[in-house]
Amino acid sequence: MICLGIETTAHTFGASVVDDGASKGDKKIDRSKVRILSNVKDSYTTEAGGMIPKDAAEHHVAVCGRVIQEALDKAGVRMRKVDIVSFSQGPGLGHCLRIGAMAARLLAAKHNLPLVGVNHCIAHLEIGRLVCDAHDPVLLYVSGANTQVIAFDGGRYRIFGETLDIGVGNFLDCFARCLGLGFPGGPKIYELALKGKNYIKLPYVVKGMDVSFGGLLTNLKQKIESGSSHEDLAFSVQETVFAMLLEVSERALAHCNKGELLLGGGVACNKRLVEMAKRMCEARGASCFVPEPEFLLDNAAMIAWNGLLVFRAGETIRIEDSIIRPYWRTDEVNSKLSKACLAAKARPYA
C-alpha cells in the first residue's frame, strides 16, 4: 500500500510517499520490502532571531502545493495510486499543525482516501527502527520542542524521562539567539564549541528521570553578560546538557532491560552528542543507532511510514474528528497500533 504523509509540527513542511510493499489484506509487513519513494521538505529559517509560529505557518502555506507535488513527482506516483493520506496530528505548534492537517483533509476528501493522524514523537521512534534495523530500542528524542526518552514497554509507548520545561533544541536555539546567532542555533553552537578550550561550570539539572533547561539558560545569560568566552560557553553547554540527557537514557536502558539506544530529533545531528552516546552504549554493551540526518530532523517519511502502520492496525479518523492535537503526549497514544504491536509480540512488521 502507498501512503502520502505530511509533516508540519514546527519549522518544516514535508511530504513523502512510502510504499510498504504489502497488499491490503496482508497482516504483517516485511521491512525489507518497504520503499521510501520520496521525502521532500522545505524548512523555515531566519538570519537572526528565533522562529515565530505565525511566520512558520505562512511559510508552510507558501510551499505546501509545491512540496506535495514534488514528493509525488519524485516518487513517480499519481494521487490515484495513493491508498492512504497521513499527517502529523501533534504534538506541535497549533499554527503549523493546522496547515498540514488542512492539506491532508483536502487530499483525503478530494480523492476519497482514508485519513490517518500520526503522533510525531512515535513516528520518530518507528522511522528509526525502520531505517536502522533497531529491534526494540529506547529512543532519546531530542528535537526543537521535545525532549523525551521513549520506549515501547508493557503494551504501550511510554515516556521514561522528559524535559520539565523547554526542549533541548529550543534551549540551544535560545542560547544561540543570546549570542546573536540565527535560527536554527544548534549547528552554530556546535561549530562554536569546537573552538572552546575550557570547561566553565554550569548547573547540571537532572531531577529523577527528568531534565530541565530553564535555569541553565538564565545562568548562561548572566555568564554572557559578565564576559565569559562564547566558545568556552558553547563547549561547556554541550558537555553538560548531553551528559544530562545520556544519564537519563542510560537509566531507562537499565530499567527497561533493553540493549538498544536509538537517537532521534534534530539535535541528534550533533556529532558530539553521537560520540558521547556511543561511548555510553559501548560501556554497557548496548548498541547505538543513529539514523541519517534526513530521518533525524523533522521529515514526512516518518509520518507516511507511521500512517501505514496505524492504518494496518485499523485506526483511521473521520475528517470531522481530525482536529489537531498540539499537546498530544506520547503516553496518551493508547491506540490500536499499541495493541497491534503487542499482538505481534515486538511490532507488526519484521
SS3 (DSSP) at 40: strand
> Is residue 90 involved in binding ligand AMP (CB under 6 A)?
no
Residue 160 contact partner, candidates Mg ion, ligand AMP, none, CB within 5 to 8 A by sort of partner: none
Cβ at position 300, least distance to Mg ion in Å: 11
Judged by beta carbon, residue 75 or residue 172, the one nearer ligand AMP is: 172
Out of 67, 96, 172, 304, the residue judged to bind ligand AMP by CB under 6 A: 172
Spatial CA neighbour of 144 closest among 179, 185, 177: 185
> Can you give the binding site for Mg ion, defined by CB under 5 A?
143, 298
> Is residue 186 involved in binding ligand AMP (CB under 6 A)?
yes
CA distance 13 to 298: 9
Single-letter residue type at 150: I
Single-letter residue type at 248: V
Q: What's the full length of the chain, in residues? A: 350
> Is residue 161 involved in binding ligand AMP (CB under 6 A)?
no
Classify strands 12-19 and 35-43 as parallel, antiparallel or unpaired.
Answer: antiparallel
Give start and end residues of each alpha helix (H) in the chain: 53-75, 94-111, 120-132, 168-178, 186-194, 214-225, 230-256, 271-283, 293-296, 301-312, 336-343
> Is residue 270 involved in binding ligand AMP (CB under 6 A)?
yes
Judged by beta carbon, residue 148 or residue 238, the one nearer Mg ion is: 148
> Is residue 137 involved in binding ligand AMP (CB under 6 A)?
no
Quote the DSSP letter at residue 163: B
Cβ at position 115, least distance to ligand AMP in Å: 24
Out of 181, 269, 280, 313, the residue judged to bind ligand AMP by CB under 6 A: 269
Interhelix angle 214-225/230-256, rounded to 10 degrees, is 160
CA distance 175 to 250: 26
Single-letter residue type at 320: E
On whether the CB atoms of residues 16 and 115 are closer than 8 A, the answer is no
The residue range among 13-21, 85-93, 205-213, 264-272 that interacts with ligand AMP, by the rule CB under 6 A, is 264-272
On whether the CB atoms of residues 41 and 7 are closer than 8 A, the answer is yes
> Is residue 184 involved in binding ligand AMP (CB under 6 A)?
yes
> Is residue 182 involved in binding ligand AMP (CB under 6 A)?
no
Out of 5, 90, 128, 144, the residue judged to bind ligand AMP by CB under 6 A: 144
Residue with cell 506535495: 68
> Is residue 13 involved in binding ligand AMP (CB under 6 A)?
no
CA distance 29 to 24: 10
Judged by beta carbon, residue 15 or residue 107, the one nearer ligand AMP is: 15
Out of 53, 187, 203, 326, the residue judged to bind ligand AMP by CB under 6 A: 187
> Is residue 267 involved in binding ligand AMP (CB under 6 A)?
yes
> Is residue 266 involved in binding ligand AMP (CB under 6 A)?
yes
> Is residue 196 involved in binding ligand AMP (CB under 6 A)?
no
Where do contacts with ligand AMP occur on this chain (CB under 6 A)?
Answer: 10, 143-144, 169, 172-173, 184-187, 190, 265-267, 269-270, 297-298
